[in-house]
Structure 1
């Protein structure tokens, strides 16, 4: 049976919506959005053609805001061009919001009554702010396009080789690894840099900096039996470290010109791992986020401390859901990555 035909029985149910009883579960649910690296050519194309009044409008609005063919690049471009930071960031944000809008407009999802928290990994924090009506889609895609361009330019003036490496942390050794990295950083030769860029879970972190600094740190942490192994990441710049200072300045100027509103669902900051307390905090933390460590693991820990045990991950790829499933195997974790996922999970609530 085709997807449009399979949708018909759901639409005939009238006022009953995708999460008609979700208010009861609101305190236990969070929605999540991915960061850079989850992009792939063709993402969201099925949604664009199946849902003209929701997903199509999102892609068209992003195209208009940016003034170039973003959706053409996403649906049929070259992977090498799509993965460029300035393209990947608006592409992932747009696709993630398109998936959410389908559930909102076609299936009646109301995140204000269905979810207690919204959070996104790095770039994904902008997506979470769009999802919660704190930031418009048009402003967001322009901001993350600029963010990607600024991040790429930031490192070019230094004329040094840079790297990012993911480390598999040995069980129970996260705090020891953080402490050891601080000492390693202080002992590096002049001009070499290593910083903690992401704390993704109790078993995975990412370090960023100069190639020699990152390599020395990863080798030392493995020799100390704090990290089990290291994996080089294919990125264009060392994100979330001091090399991004120029990008942070660019974003500070741009964010001052954008209006932020109070989110309809509490959004957790990557910098503080706690919800924003007011709209005025948002641009300040988004500037800090460019150079600061992404406190993803602590953001999830905050949710868990508030009795959240259901996570809905919107957007391309399954990086966030896979991290959660490994860390919290007993929780309810859903991935919304395609039209098939939307239909499958919508049917669970009928």
Structure 2
């Protein structure tokens, strides 16, 4: 992830170096040469995706003359991508964002490590029903689940695709019921390490609230009486610590919130929205619809992978959607604007 950028563009190398310095370990080495299983751990994957996305943006700015303030009307990102949008618009520094997503990923992984229940996220292709109708049916199914089982709406990706998140058994039961009611057709289990954007993530939301200065930090744990010789080497590592809350600024263009699907320019609103985002549904399709009602029909999707660009193309085939994921895409982008 990002290796071609690092090798080709000095400005991209500077992004990866800043991320390494901030995290105080060589995330770039893990990204380019390391074990993929370790890279896909949430606490590593989230800063790696953010770093690659910002590296792509910096190259677009220096090599192609792209100016997000002049060429963009809104910035939006899916889940973790909201942090990319904040950095891209100058609302948050790259250093603060990387520290935050490292903490975010660690807190989410910590929840999974401590749970006895298996968790899941499952994408559903809807069977001609509306999102509003699906929500009503899902609300009626949740109380019927066995105790401690959870199935909640995590992502609204398009008018025909949503994602459920929760316990594995709870999500499985909810999917079966939605299919029995002929509301959902195909179901695809997603290869993710945690049940993102559901109530199971509340401990991670609390950690983020503490990092933003919205909640008191926990008191330090008392020293363990366990002797060094009997301490387990598999004990969980402590979560990263942010010494001071991050500083937010007014973005150069509005950032559309995952939680509200509405633009935000007040920097004081971002911390609480980012906390809420941890447990709330990602309103991706409504966010895109907001852009379109404002007359926006051209989209630039930058970051590793093509998931968002493909969603946009399927949902809005007449819109102009440019996907930038690697060096080849950057060169094509440059040729398009400088034929």
Superposed CA offset, 1:259-315 (max 9, x none): 000111110000000011400000000000001111111111111111110110001
Superposed CA offset, 1:210-232 (max 9, x none): 11110110001111111111111
- Give the alignment of 1:145-294 within 5 angstroms: 145-256=102-213, 257-294=245-282
**How far is 1:187 from its partner?**
1.7
Residue in 1 that maps onto 2:336: 348
Residue in 2 that maps onto 1:37: none
8 Å contact kept, 2:64–2:333: no
**How far is 1:172 from its partner?**
4.1
8 Å contact kept, 1:171–1:202: no
Residue in 2 that maps onto 1:48: 6
Q: Counterparts of 2:194 and 2:4 in 1: how far apart (Å)? A: 32
Alignment of 1:300 with 2:288, yes or no, is: yes
Displaced runs of 4+ in structure 1, greater than 6 A?
A: none
Question: Secondary structure at 1:348's aligned position in 2?
Answer: helix
8 Å contact kept, 1:86–1:144: yes
8 Å contact kept, 1:93–1:127: yes
The number of aligned residues is 307
Q: Counterparts of 1:341 and 1:277 in 2: how far apart (Å)? A: 30
Output the TM-score relative to the length of structure 1. 0.86
Residue in 1 that maps onto 2:21: 64
Alignment of 1:101 with 2:58, yes or no, is: yes
Question: Which of 127, 146, 153 lines up with 2:84 in the alignment?
Answer: 127
Residue in 2 that maps onto 1:117: 74
**How far is 1:158 from its partner?**
3.5
Superposed CA offset, 1:18-68 (max 9, x none): xxxxxxxxxxxxxxxxxxxxxxxxx2211112111x111001000000011
Question: Secondary structure at 1:100's aligned position in 2?
Answer: helix
Superposed CA offset, 1:176-212 (max 9, x none): 2111111001221221111111111111111111111
Gaps (5+ residues) in structure 1? 1-42
Question: Which of 45, 50, 57 lines up with 1:88 in the alignment?
Answer: 45
Q: Counterparts of 1:178 and 1:315 in 2: how far apart (Å)? A: 30
Question: Secondary structure at 2:192's aligned position in 1?
Answer: coil
**How far is 1:173 from its partner?**
3.2
Shifted more, 221-230 versus 155-164: the winner is 155-164
Residue in 2 that maps onto 1:318: 306
8 Å contact kept, 2:129–2:183: no
Q: Counterparts of 1:216 and 1:172 in 2: how far apart (Å)? A: 19
Gaps (5+ residues) in structure 2? 214-244
Give the CA RMSD over aligned residues: 1.0
Output the TM-score relative to the length of structure 2. 0.89
8 Å contact kept, 1:321–1:335: yes
